[in-house]
Structure 1
Amino acid sequence: MDLSEENRFVRGDDWQIRMLRIQIASSRRDIREFIDLPSQIYSKFDTFVAPLRMDRGLMLDPKQSAAWKRSRIRYWIARIDGQSVGRISAQIDETIPIGVASGSGMFGCLDAIDDERVVASLMEAARQWLEEQGCTYMYGPCSLNMNEEPGLLVEGANEPAMTLCPWHPPYLGEHLDHLGFSRVRDLHNWRLDLDQGPPAIRQGHSALSKRIPNLTVRHPSRATYAADIQILCDIYNDGWRDNWGFIPLAPADLAGLDQLMKWLVPREAFKIVELDGVPVAATLLIPNLFELTRGIPPTPGPLQWLKILWRACNHRFQSGRIIITGVAYRLRGTLVGSAIASLLVDELIASHQALKGHWVEAGWVLENNHALIQILERFNFRRSKTFRIYGKDTAPAPTTL
């Protein structure tokens, strides 16, 4: 039965009979409701910070999202007595992430009130659609692919909000566990409080990198930005190509970053390392945009937009996130590669300290990426958030009579 048309009767906390419906979100009004839903149902949580609707629209609106141009995607909204109480997406991309079996489909954008029946109905809607599309396995959540916001936040809900990091209440993971979804991978964010950085270790890595002949670090300029974004993507794709969850990164995936770079990201936050004149490593740190929108509702009015603009022109960012970093595959496991990876971290720390920042966050780091974890630990990063990828077969379990 199509859950988008099915009526289900459930009991609420007040023991009143209520109607739960799972409906496809396709109209412009539905899409707006879908985008705004987390801000509505999570407003009671002190640690939830609502992102701007404009920001979410770039990622989720079919007319703006890069994911909608290359994937088959469907949205659903859960409503009880007409009030929206949850949402979910399902998407199929021709590019399957490394380590994920062919024939798999993804679910994402999972947000709901604390009601396992709501979560179960949303997951069932996504499962049915993915099965109808020929998928034998479902994994997620991801909004809307592995290069955007992968995973369900299962640890770190009390940590400060960070750009491009989803927020979820603890009960969502518990509901997925109860529904038989298994942990596939954990991705971690690592935080460094800059006033606790170990200068002796930084100096040691800086000295080591200086002993590598013809190694240079440069900062892209506006004139070289387009070419350098392509270099950033190429290095990332080369360095991470055999890691679990990898899908190629294209400049189109970074749409809108040019304006961010123009107005908010200092040149020092984007670095390209060259060896003998050839790019071999790159990294990009962006400021925590939640600092600009602190206390601002998801849909600002004219005066609130002026406040954001004033902050953008005058604000000194206290925090930032390393969103992309990579070292050429041919240098993996070599002393030079290790020195360059450490140099990237050292350079970003030094830049953020020079800009008077207080902390930085790095992610998504796979739980078994021991080489990178060792580097982060040497620089006194601590694990701050855990995002979990869940999976389950799309075929329903057989009924026992």
Structure 2
Amino acid sequence: MAQAEVVITPVTGKADRNAFVDLAYRLNASDPAWVPPLRMDALELVTPGKNPFFDHADVQLFLARRNGAVVGRISAHIDHLAIAMDPAQGMGPGVGNWGLLEAEDESVAHALIAKAEAWLRDKGMHRVLAPLSMSIWEEPGQLTKGFDQSPTIMMGHQPKRYDDYIKAAGYTPAKTLKTYELDITQEFPPLIQRIVSSGEKNAKIRIRNVDRSKFEQEAALILDILNDAWSDNWGFVPFTDREIAYAGKKFKPIVREDLIMVAEYEGEPVAFMMTLPDLNEMIKPMNGKLFPFNWAKLLLWLRNPKPRTMRVPLMGVRKKLQASRLASQLAFMMIEYIRRNSVTRYGSTRGEIGWILEDNQGMVAIADAINSHVNKEYEIYGKSLTG
């Protein structure tokens, strides 16, 4: 018997938005590596007025139904900050995106992707980079390596079949993003220790913790360095003031002063490294629900986190120093100080760094120097929407 037709409609109200969010929990329930996000966070991500991404992006969510039942979802979006960037950096004029793909089977996935492409084409886009869920700063890429490992905080996780669906829809690799893991209970190689020791003797260098009592100012400083440090990177999109404030508010509960470092040279802040306790370890068993009792467990954990894993999602050195030896010295010093604190104060044993662009030679060299190895890879795919 032939399958019923797949009907795709735009998300138009609260009920549709709830159905969009709920589908991910059902389709991924059998995947032992998947981490159900807190439902309030998942809903906030796709709600205009709550996620500041909507301030500078046109977004349309779609639901796929078969016989009236929801069987798939996708987001299509045009980030106006991204299309204003230099095309040499991957985005640029005429480049749209889709993401948040969930589908019961390949026919549903292909119908959703085609719908997202048609929406982008109607808006004047001639190329698509995907998946991005939804900004490059949120959960970019389709997982292609490391399906058996749960994602750390702020990283995505998708089944392999989605990768097969995307390639079958005519997409080719545009950029690979990698994460690196390491045993942080082990000291770094002697060469790195000597570089750190040399930096400690240099009176011009100061590595300091962030000051949580000045959280807003510190967050603004870090993101100012980030916008400068990453401005030439592939896929870069600058943070807006509202996004800076939003990120600060969102991460404040898990920020620890001794896990985020700022490097100063001759009194000027020139680099930073942000490390976060892996909140995913705590929320994974909650199945997205804080009530009736999970909120209390989470609150206790936040007061005294003891995660196995610490993740470094962001680091940066101002552009004017990036070609210098000082840049790598500052990075090694911050990594070493955070490694020590993670082990002695939080009992952590594992670190994860990334994502890192496959061709970011400086960061890849740093990851290699501290004996880390690639544990996950994510692919961002591209496809022409013309011809």
> Is the deviation greater in 79-88 or in 304-313?
304-313
CA distance in 1, matches of 2:229, 2:18: 38
Aligned residues: 381
Asked if residue 21 in structure 1 is aligned to residue 7 in structure 2, the reply is yes
CA distance in 1, matches of 2:219, 2:191: 30
Q: Structure 1 151/197 Cα, relative in aligned 2: closer, same or farther at 3 Å?
A: farther
Note if contact 1:189-1:365 (Cα within 8 Å) is conserved in structure 2.
Answer: yes
The corresponding residue for 1:203 is 193
Cα deviations by residue, 1:312-349 (Å, 9 ceiling, x for unpaired): 33441221211211001111111112211222222222
The corresponding residue for 1:269 is 259
CA distance in 2, matches of 1:315, 1:223: 20
SS class of match (2:375): strand
| 2:359 corresponds to which of 338, 345, 368 | 368
| Deviation at residue 256 of structure 1 after TM alignment | 5.1
Cα deviations by residue, 1:328-371 (Å, 9 ceiling, x for unpaired): 11111111122112222222222212221111211110011122
Cα deviations by residue, 1:266-312 (Å, 9 ceiling, x for unpaired): 21111111111111001111111112213212133222322322333
Note if contact 2:64-2:108 (Cα within 8 Å) is conserved in structure 1.
Answer: yes
Note if contact 1:57-1:65 (Cα within 8 Å) is conserved in structure 2.
Answer: no
| 2:158 corresponds to which of 147, 163, 168 | 168
Note if contact 1:146-1:245 (Cα within 8 Å) is conserved in structure 2.
Answer: yes
CA distance in 2, matches of 1:171, 1:196: 37
5+ unaligned residues in a row in structure 1: which ranges?
Answer: 1-14
The corresponding residue for 2:93 is 102
Q: Structure 1 16/46 Cα, relative in aligned 2: closer, same or farther at 3 Å?
A: farther
Cα deviations by residue, 1:54-83 (Å, 9 ceiling, x for unpaired): 122232222311111211000001122222
Note if contact 1:147-1:249 (Cα within 8 Å) is conserved in structure 2.
Answer: no
Q: Structure 1 265/223 Cα, relative in aligned 2: closer, same or farther at 3 Å?
A: closer
Note if contact 1:189-1:386 (Cα within 8 Å) is conserved in structure 2.
Answer: yes
CA distance in 2, matches of 1:261, 1:133: 34
The corresponding residue for 1:92 is 78
| Deviation at residue 203 of structure 1 after TM alignment | 1.7
The corresponding residue for 1:223 is 213
5+ unaligned residues in a row in structure 2: which ranges?
Answer: none
* Aligned-partner residue type, residue 66 of structure 1: P
Q: How does 1:39-58 map to 2 (within 5 A)?
A: 39-58=25-44
The corresponding residue for 1:81 is 67
* Aligned-partner residue type, residue 367 of structure 2: L
Note if contact 2:178-2:374 (Cα within 8 Å) is conserved in structure 1.
Answer: yes
| 1:192 corresponds to which of 182, 192, 203 | 182
| Deviation at residue 257 of structure 1 after TM alignment | 4.7
Q: Structure 1 349/38 Cα, relative in aligned 2: closer, same or farther at 3 Å?
A: same
Q: Structure 1 213/172 Cα, relative in aligned 2: closer, same or farther at 3 Å?
A: same
Q: Structure 1 197/118 Cα, relative in aligned 2: closer, same or farther at 3 Å?
A: farther
CA distance in 2, matches of 1:341, 1:303: 41
SS class of match (1:90): strand
RMSD, aligned CA: 1.8
SS class of match (1:106): strand
Cα deviations by residue, 1:353-398 (Å, 9 ceiling, x for unpaired): 2221111211110011122111111111110111110111113x5x
The corresponding residue for 2:19 is 33
| Deviation at residue 148 of structure 1 after TM alignment | 1.3
Note if contact 1:196-1:380 (Cα within 8 Å) is conserved in structure 2.
Answer: no
| Deviation at residue 120 of structure 1 after TM alignment | 0.9
* Aligned-partner residue type, residue 54 of structure 1: M
CA distance in 1, matches of 2:362, 2:6: 48
* Aligned-partner residue type, residue 173 of structure 2: R
The corresponding residue for 1:6 is none
* Aligned-partner residue type, residue 78 of structure 1: A
